[in-house]
C-alpha cells in the first residue's frame, strides 16, 4: 500500500510540474494573450516584450503582387511603435488573429497565425519567435509580418 501511495504521489507531482512549467503551448498562449491585450489597448508597454536584439521583418505586398521587404532593428522598431500608438488608437487600427498555432523550435516558442487588419480588412501571415532570457522572461526575438497598403 505504501509503495502504491508513493507511486501515485510521484505521478501526480510529475504531471503537475509538466503542466505548470514545461507546457510550451500554454507558455506561448499566455504570452500571446498578453501581447494581444497590450496591442488592443494601445499600451506602449507592448515594446517591453521585444528583445533589444529582435529581428523585425516586414514584407509589404502591393496590389500588383510585387513585394518589398524591410528589416528593422528592434530599438528603432520599438521607437516607431511608441510614436505610432496615438495615431493607431485614433484610427482604431487593431488586429485580430485566427488559425493560431504554437510549436517549439529548439528551445524557443513559435507562434504562427493569420492576422486580420480590422482597419484595412485583409488577412495576412503573422509569426513570432519567443525566447526565455537569462531572467526567465519571455521575449520576442523575431517578428515576421506581411502587410498591404
Asked whether residue 10 is assigned to any structural domain, the reply reads: no
Asked whether residue 110 is assigned to any structural domain, the reply reads: yes
Whole-angstrom distance, CA of residue 98 vs CA of residue 116: 8
* pLDDT at residue number 25: 82
Domain holding 39, by residue range, is: 23-147
Whole-angstrom distance, CA of residue 92 vs CA of residue 21: 36
Please check whether residue 50 is in contact with residue 9, taking contact to mean a CB–CB distance below 8 angstroms. Answer: no
Asked whether residue 7 is assigned to any structural domain, the reply reads: no
In 41-142, alpha helices (H)? 74-91
How many domains would you assign to the chain? 1
Q: Which residue has the higher pLDDT, 30 or 16?
A: 30
Give the CATH number of the domain where residue 104 resides.
3.10.450.50
Asked whether residue 12 is assigned to any structural domain, the reply reads: no
* pTM for this predicted structure: 0.81
The DSSP H or E segment spanning 18 is none
Q: Categorize the per-residue pLDDT at 14 as very low, low, confident or very high, splitting at 50, 70 and 90.
A: very low
Average pLDDT of the chain to the nearest whole number: 87
Asked whether residue 17 is assigned to any structural domain, the reply reads: no
Asked whether residue 2 is assigned to any structural domain, the reply reads: no
Asked whether residue 11 is assigned to any structural domain, the reply reads: no
Asked whether residue 63 is assigned to any structural domain, the reply reads: yes
Whole-angstrom distance, CA of residue 76 vs CA of residue 55: 11
Flag the least confident range among 10-14, 49-53, 81-85, 108-112. 10-14
* pLDDT at residue number 22: 59
Amino acid at each position: 500500500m505504501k509503495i502504491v501511495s508513493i507511486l501515485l504521489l510521484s505521478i501526480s507531482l510529475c504531471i503537475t510540474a509538466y503542466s505548470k512549467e514545461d507546457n510550451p503551448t500554454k507558455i506561448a498562449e499566455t504570452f500571446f494573450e498578453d501581447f494581444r491585450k497590450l496591442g488592443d489597448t494601445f499600451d506602449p508597454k507592448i515594446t517591453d516584450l521585444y528583445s533589444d536584439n529582435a529581428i523585425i521583418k516586414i514584407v509589404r505586398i502591393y496590389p500588383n503582387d510585387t513585394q518589398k521587404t524591410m528589416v528593422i532593428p528592434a530599438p528603432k522598431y520599438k521607437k516607431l511603435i511608441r510614436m505610432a500608438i496615438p495615431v493607431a488608437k485614433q484610427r482604431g487600427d487593431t488586429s485580430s488573429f485566427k488559425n493560431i498555432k504554437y510549436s517549439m523550435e529548439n528551445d524557443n516558442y513559435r507562434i504562427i497565425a493569420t492576422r486580420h487588419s480590422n482597419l484595412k480588412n485583409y488577412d495576412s501571415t503573422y509569426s513570432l519567435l519567443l525566447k526565455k532570457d537569462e531572467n526567465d522572461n519571455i521575449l520576442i526575438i523575431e517578428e515576421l509580418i506581411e502587410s498591404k497598403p
